[in-house]
Structures are given as structure tokens and as C-alpha cells.
């Protein structure tokens, strides 16, 4: 059996994407997202835990994320998890996990005034409009779906 390193997260960006280029000219974008988990405890109290995750994309995907996303925007990402270790300038050992994107999907903001927010974002409105339509008919691929995973599951295929 082969190993698998796949992660799927939905959240909101916690900072604007930061675009840079490698010496060979490959685009790299770094950003981060927060993903909330809400549940009720045994005593009925609402509980919430926030997971903060660094994310990185390369090539055309990096340029697209940089162009169309900003802090606070919702995003669904797919990728692989990597672990970085380094020594900081003060000599302390540091480490972090980061998701390297293999795919992403535009999502509506859900706050009712998305169009007015997108107006002033340098072309973001046009990109977002194509993704805010109703989901495709069953059996068709969704925009941004990574073909490596095959077609998205149907309601009948989800076991819960």
C-alpha cells in the first residue's frame, strides 16, 4: 500500500497573499488561512477552536491566488502537508507545518454584499462572478476541482 499525503481545508485567508519569484522565475505565493471548528460540549455550551494554517502555491496557481484573493476571503484548498524546520536568528529551533496547494476553489463570501466588496479589487469581480453560479449538474466537474482525484462524489456516494 502506498502512502498518501492529501489535505482539504475550508477557511478564510488571514493575510493577503504575498507573491515572490524564485531565481528561475517561478511564481510563489505565501498566505495563511483560519479554519473554525464549532461544536457543543456535553453541558450544551457552544465551543469553538480555530486552526491557523500556512499555505503556499507555485506557478500559475500562485499568480491566480495573488490576483483574486485578499485577507478575509473564503477559500477551499487541496494540497499536501509539509514540515519545515530552521534555526531562527536568535538561535532557537523553529518548525511549522504548511499546505502546498494542488488545487483551490473560489467560494462566495456569504455576507450579502460580495459584489460591492469585489468592485474595488482590481478585476476580482470578474473572476468571482463565474464561480458564484449554481453548482454544476450532477456528474460534471466543479470549477477548480483537481482532476487527480477524479470526479467529485455524488450525494449517494457520501456515507453520512
> Given a cut of 50, is residue 124 above it in pLDDT?
no
Where exactly are the structural domains of the chain?
7-38+45-157
> Given a cut of 80, is residue 35 above it in pLDDT?
yes
Question: Taking Cα atoms as reference points, which of 159, 144, 158 lies closest to residue 60?
Answer: 144
Rounded to two decimals, the pTM is: 0.65
* Structure confidence at residue 120 as a pLDDT band (50, 70, 90): very low
Q: Cα separation of 65 and 27, whole Å?
A: 11
Question: What per-residue confidence (pLDDT) applies to 150?
Answer: 52
Q: Report which secondary-structure segment, H or E, holds 32.
A: strand 27-40
| Average pLDDT over every residue of 43-52 | 93
For the chain, the straight-line distance linking the first and the last C-alpha, in angstroms and rounded, comes to 26
CA distance to 61, 142, 160, per residue, from 138 (Å): 26, 10, 18
Question: Taking Cα atoms as reference points, which of 145, 137, 64 lies closest to residue 105?
Answer: 145
Question: What per-residue confidence (pLDDT) applies to 138?
Answer: 47
Q: Is 75 left (phi over 0), alpha (psi -120 to 50) or beta?
A: beta
pLDDT over 70, % of the chain: 68
**pLDDT, tens digit, 9 for 90 and up, residues 48-103:** 999 999 999 999 999 999 999 999 999 999 999 999 999 999 999 999 999 999 99
Fold exhibited by the domain 7-38+45-157: OB fold (Dihydrolipoamide Acetyltransferase, E2P) (2.40.50)
* Structure confidence at residue 159 as a pLDDT band (50, 70, 90): low
* Structure confidence at residue 107 as a pLDDT band (50, 70, 90): confident
Amino acid at each position: 500500500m502506498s502512502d498518501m499525503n492529501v489535505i482539504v481545508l475550508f477557511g478564510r485567508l488571514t493575510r493577503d497573499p504575498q507573491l515572490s519569484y524564485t531565481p528561475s522565475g517561478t511564481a510563489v505565493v505565501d498566505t495563511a488561512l483560519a479554519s473554525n471548528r464549532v461544536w457543543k460540549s456535553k453541558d450544551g455550551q457552544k465551543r469553538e477552536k480555530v486552526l491557523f494554517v500556512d499555505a503556499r502555491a507555485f506557478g500559475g496557481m500562485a499568480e491566480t491566488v495573488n490576483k483574486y484573493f485578499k485577507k478575509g476571503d473564503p477559500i477551499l484548498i487541496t494540497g499536501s502537508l509539509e514540515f519545515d524546520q530552521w534555526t531562527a536568528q536568535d538561535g532557537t529551533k523553529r518548525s511549522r507545518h504548511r499546505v502546498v496547494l494542488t488545487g483551490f476553489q473560489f467560494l462566495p463570501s456569504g455576507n450579502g454584499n460580495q459584489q460591492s466588496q469585489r468592485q474595488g479589487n482590481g478585476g476580482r469581480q470578474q473572476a468571482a462572478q463565474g464561480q458564484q453560479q449554481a453548482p454544476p449538474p450532477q456528474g460534471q466537474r466543479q470549477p477548480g476541482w483537481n482532476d487527480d482525484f477524479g470526479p467529485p462524489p455524488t450525494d449517494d456516494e457520501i456515507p453520512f
